[in-house]
Amino acid sequence: MKNVFCFLISGIMMGVVFSVYVFGDEAITSSSAVSAVSQSTLEGISKWAEKEVKEAIENGIVPKELQGDYTKNITRKEFCKLCSAVMKAWNNGLEYKKGNLNFFDTNDEDILLCAEKGIVSGVGNNKFAPDNSIKRQEAARMLYNTLNNGTIVVSEMHGKSVDTALECCIPHSFDDGGEIKNWARNEINHMYRYGVMLGVSDNNYDPDGFYTREQAICTFLRLFNCYGNMEVNPVPDVEYYPCGQTAKDYISDGEAYAYGYSKENYKADYIDSKGNKYTEKEKGYIYPFDKKLGVFITSTGVGVGGGTVVDKEGNESEVINYDAFLLGSNFVVNFDKTFSNSTMYSLPDMKEIFSGNGMISYIGDNLCEFIDADFSSSIIDSKGNVILDKSKGYKHSSGQFTKIYNGVFVLVNKNGGFDILNSKCEVLKHFKVNSSWSLLDSIGTNAHFYNEKNDKHIFYRCYSGIAKEYDYVTLTENNEAIVRGPHFHNYILNADGTVKFDAGSLGYKNVEKVDGFDFYKVLKDNGESGLCDIVDKNGKIIKKDISRDLLVDKSGVFAYITDRNIINFFDFYGSELGKVDLSNVYSSSTKIKIKFINGMLFVENYYHDDDKENINGIYITPQGKRFI
């Protein structure tokens, strides 16, 4: 695909960010193209959309009735009219020929043409609902169908060589990808890779957001260009994936962190979403690429350890004498071998900004908590400034760190009571509890206490003062809680203390939180079978009898392995996405090592079928297709 000089102009309308480009010397024209567009025709249009809408009208792909009211939501009927116009521009002889397809609520020929081409379908009961608005993921599916059924672009792309055959199936890992339905996931990826329909701000897709006329016109212009003029589209940059030793060491938690580092044998190899390969000299030693530094552990063991901080050029720092880890994106903490002293360094200059006889933990909102040897508590910002020092008298009775949730957290004050503080360390509320209670941990304004007198655990909501005793309490990072009552009866509680999921009444013996996501694993036998069911954020069981040892990616995909070494993928709604059978590669006794990296699953210990030569792993898409 040749490069065309583009100006990228970002504009936001209805929460949607579009890239607007300036065409090169080439231009596509159709038999219905117009010579000029008056300013009155563009009246009321958003500034970001003006150039592309004008270009679309000049190319004759915007029906007259859609040249106005640009910011209103587009209807299903209007979408079909744009679709029909584009297909007729691709094929001047195309016209609707009356067939057997009919809808009770419309006889519009553009709708019927699109339906007969397999681009759109009804809503049930032989109805089309022509006046209903369209959501973004519905639009992506229909745009894909238009390109796939009206041209040879998609089939040609997938018929190319192995290196590029999956170019448009490579997923983009949107932060709200969990909201994408399985019937639109592949289509969204295609439209993203073709530069037809991009995401919204902050790497979100907003799949259930409504689509406006001007947004639809812009995407149909880009779709129109896909058939012979794709180089003018705002195609996103390729995405990169570590491979070989880099991928094996990389921990897919968004941080550059690796075990077993040795500069003599460490190779940072990468592959992009088009199959091109790169060395560490070409792309740098650190992945993800937005990180300036990576932490590499050189040796581990009881009482011994070592590590180094490496920059993108492979230059090493000598500051680590035992163990270190990244905290957020602004600093790194190094512990000595006794874990009694910790030092915090700023990134990327590795300047020492704080040191003390105690432990440091990141608690959220770019703040750390430092707990001294006497359990006194201090709060440190990302520049190493102490914004709440030990003279204030805050302590941790158990030495556990607090956690910020929604900008607030709880500490024990010097009077034996408790304070709710915000991220500026301003006290929002004082409160007291039973003197026999000791604080074990807190997240936001929910606290977990232990009553020594009756051996009970208390789920306490600090603002309301509501408390309830259980046999055990586990606070979760989403401000909910897992609690256990008499006879090992387990519940999942909402943040307000109401019951989200009554596990005990359904026969479940145990509940575990899925780290980092609003899902829970519920177990019928305390884990002996290795199986679990999955409960979503609404307390609904979405998947049954799957492996307890499963992975989740922010793109909205779960992966687990059966005892026959088949990897299965499903989405946040419980819908199956794909699977890949590796039983011919591994024996049933081999444990496959997998992890998500940038929306794809990396299988670390993959071998060739014939000679068992280690090829340093492969990537698999959520549809179960092998990339490398």
Position 150, amino acid: G
Give 275-300 pLDDT, tens digit per residue: 888 888 888 877 877 777 776 766 55
| Structure confidence at residue 541 (pLDDT) | 98
Which range among 223-227, 359-363, 465-469 shows the weakest confidence by mean pLDDT? Answer: 359-363
Which range among 66-75, 362-371, 490-499 shows the weakest confidence by mean pLDDT? Answer: 362-371
Neighbouring CB atoms inside 10 A of 591's CB total 10
Work out the pLDDT band at 601, boundaries 50, 70, 90.
very high
| Structure confidence at residue 152 (pLDDT) | 86
C-alpha atoms less than 13 angstroms from C-alpha of 628 in its C-beta half-sphere: 24
Sheet bearing 576-581, strands edge to edge:
551-553, 557-561, 566-571, 576-581
| Structure confidence at residue 448 (pLDDT) | 94
Token duo for residue 167: 């170019």
Question: CA 573, 576, 577, 583 torsion: positive or negative?
Answer: positive
Query: If you average pLDDT over residues 88-115, what whole number do you get?
Result: 87
Token duo for residue 191: 């439209």
Query: Are the beta carbons of 279 and 313 closer than 8 angstroms?
Result: no
Query: Are the beta carbons of 295 and 257 closer than 8 angstroms?
Result: yes
Query: If you average pLDDT over residues 563-580, what whole number do you get?
Result: 93
CATH code, residues 552-628: 2.40.10.480
| Structure confidence at residue 276 (pLDDT) | 85
| Cα radius of gyration (the chain) | 28
Work out the pLDDT band at 611, boundaries 50, 70, 90.
very low
| C-alpha to C-alpha distance for 234 and 198, rounded to whole angstroms | 9
| Structure confidence at residue 221 (pLDDT) | 97
pLDDT at 567 exceeding the cut of 70? yes
Query: If you average pLDDT over residues 194-207, what whole number do you get?
Result: 92
| C-alpha to C-alpha distance for 464 and 196, rounded to whole angstroms | 50
| C-alpha to C-alpha distance for 513 and 255, rounded to whole angstroms | 22
Q: Which residues are registered as beta bridge partners of 608?
A: none
pLDDT at 165 exceeding the cut of 50? no
Work out the pLDDT band at 251, boundaries 50, 70, 90.
low
pLDDT at 320 exceeding the cut of 70? no
**Which pTM does this prediction carry?**
0.84
Which range among 135-144, 334-343, 539-548, 559-568 shows the weakest confidence by mean pLDDT? Answer: 334-343
Give 253-270 pLDDT, tens digit per residue: 455 566 666 666 566 688
| C-alpha to C-alpha distance for 331 and 313, rounded to whole angstroms | 19
Domains of the chain, residue spans: 9-232, 552-628
Which string of b and e fits 380-390 if b means at least 16 CB within 10 Å?
A: bbbebeeebeb
Residues with Cβ within 8 Å of residue 294, at least 6 apart in sequence: 256, 257, 258, 285, 286, 287, 309, 310, 311
% helix, strand, coil for the chain, step of 5: 20, 35, 50
pLDDT at 471 exceeding the cut of 60? yes
Query: If you average pLDDT over residues 606-626, what whole number do you get?
Result: 69
pLDDT at 1 exceeding the cut of 60? no
